[in-house]
Amino acid sequence: MTQDNRIWILMSRHLSGEASPEETNELTNLLEQDPRKQYAYDILQTYFNQAAPPEASPAPENAEMEENLLKIIDLPTARRRLLSPRVKWIAAACTAACLLLGSLLIQRNTPKTLAPLARSIRSEEVLAKAGTRTKLVLPDGTEVWLNSNSRLKYSAGFDQTDREVVLEGEAYFEVAKDARLPFVVHASSIDIKVLGTSFAVKSYPQDETIEATLLKGSIEISRKDNPAGAQIILKPNEKLVFRKSLATFDRTNPSPYKPVINAAPAPDISVNPIRKDLPDSDKVETAWLYNRLVFDGDRFRELADKMERWFNVRIVIRDSGLNNYRFSGIFEKETVDDALKELQLTNDFSFTHKNNGNEIDLYAKN
């Protein structure tokens, strides 16, 4: 049985009140990995918790929910007409094997109130845990790839009243075009607004900077605390780096990207071109999509932060002098030990493991 079939069967069992605790936990985990299935389940749950009998004509709001679900499942129109209102929902939600389970739902006289899942499936939140990378498709068809230790949140009204997401971590977006609703990414101190484009954003809480890299299309970037203020518009193959300190965009300045500095001696905002001659698999900003960790002139602490997320370990630099070391290279299939041994070829340091290998201490050699 495929995982796709499995999730529909688990949905039916939970909706009918027959799911075991183990099946409920399994359903929760599967839904967290697939926001489109979460959305379908939410619609189904709303419908089946209502008290209207199966033969009743659907209310306008039910008809709207039904149409939303059918769009997700892509049930052929010819088959829709052959189904009664409640059977139509089951057919839209389940595979052929699941239809048998769905018939149990039709036979019930009084709808049950479903027991809540162990973790809320209406949170509209997707997490890529440390050491993993995750791809998801939002309800509007936008494709998102989440890098390790990243989190994406979106509202219950996504693709209906708005197309706004909140990103913590790193993600690559291929945005579905929709002139009605601009797509907006809220990333720490900045907002990124698009209509349809491909771009990458890196906004980890512990990082000193936020990065937005545009590959094609157009994006508009503004400060979160001043959305009506001046904006920066990126062109393809440009990257904006925003330092988390006081700065404003000055569109009257002769240089369109030059910031006005309120407190910091160095520029807080910069826009630089990225290399067009490199394939995406070799670019620092997008190589992770191809399971490659590319680093170019990173200080040891910067590289250690990336390695922590990549390998799901904690790296402690015990000698401050190591922070002056810089590294360039690519990790692809290496273990964390392999990676550290390769780094030792260019800089002299040692490392030891602690806490069952989950923590690595780095030392300068005397």
> Domain holding 157: CATH number?
2.60.120.1440
240 and 186 share one domain: yes
In a domain, 81, yes or no: yes
248 and 340 share one domain: no
Is residue 89 a contact partner of residue 44, using CB atoms and an 8 Å limit? yes
The encoded tokens of residue 24 equal 């409920």
Check pLDDT > 60 for residue 10: yes
How many domains does the chain divide into?
Answer: 3
Residues facing residue 326 across a β-bridge: 299
222 and 333 share one domain: no
pLDDT band (50, 70, 90) for residue 44: low
pLDDT band (50, 70, 90) for residue 176: very high
In whole angstroms, what is the distance from residue 53 CA to residue 55 CA?
A: 6
Of 107, 133, 160, the residue that ends a domain is 107
In a domain, 67, yes or no: yes
CA distances from 64 to 43, 108, 230, 232 (A): 10, 23, 39, 39
Is this structure's pTM higher than 0.95? no
Residue corresponding to tokens 């503004």: 222
210 and 237 share one domain: yes
136 and 99 share one domain: no
Is residue 111 a contact partner of residue 86, using CB atoms and an 8 Å limit? no
Average pLDDT estimate for 227-254: 71
In a domain, 313, yes or no: yes
55 and 144 share one domain: no
Residue corresponding to tokens 């039916």: 12
Provide the domain limits for residue 258. 125-273
Check pLDDT > 70 for residue 310: yes
- Write down the pLDDT at residue 114: 43
